Structure 1
Amino acid sequence: MIKVNLDLMLVKKEMSSKELAMKVGITQANLSILKTGKARGIRFETLDKICSALNCQPGDILEYVEGRG
């Protein structure tokens, strides 16, 4: 299972979901779906923008957790 650690990164970078959504160019609703792990996928373009806005690597946001799901 892939775990999304976006909330953790937002706290570390002291950024609100609303601010990130604006910087990335997605709706807060879509960001919420991603944060809760309910998204079925993510575009590389969106992941690139999130990483740029948070100054992080994809592995800081996405984590493989064995045995869950």
Structure 2
Amino acid sequence: MIKYDKLFMLLDNAGINTTKVKEMGIIPQVTFYKMKRGEPVGLRYESLDRLCALLGCQPGDLMEYVPDQTEDDQMPE
């Protein structure tokens, strides 16, 4: 599962609230709420590009892969 906790921390550290990001049209509101709740979402390349430009970072600074327990159980040995 991809987690976006890093993104929310970077936004907070930069003093940018989630309302501002939504108003700028970077991430659709529905997608943003799903990200906040930890639901699986996909971000468009354009959204990642704009977030990286806004925060002066790389895509890996915004998100991280966290293995799901069920994924671990399904991996072949």
Normalised TM-score (structure 2): 0.66
Larger Rg: 2
Normalised TM-score (structure 1): 0.72
Give CA-to-partner distance per residue, 1:5-35, whole Å, 9 cap, x none: 2221111111100111222444433322233
Task: Count how many residue pairs are aligned between Structure 1 and Structure 2.
Answer: 69
SS of corresponding position for 2:24: helix
Unaligned residue ranges in structure 1 (runs of 5+): none
> How high is the sequence identity, in percent, across the aligned residues?
35
Unaligned residue ranges in structure 2 (runs of 5+): 71-77
CA RMSD after TM alignment: 2.2
SS of corresponding position for 1:46: helix
Which structure's relative contact order is higher, taking Cα pairs within 8 Å and 6+ residues apart? 1
Larger CA deviation: 39-48 vs 11-20: 39-48
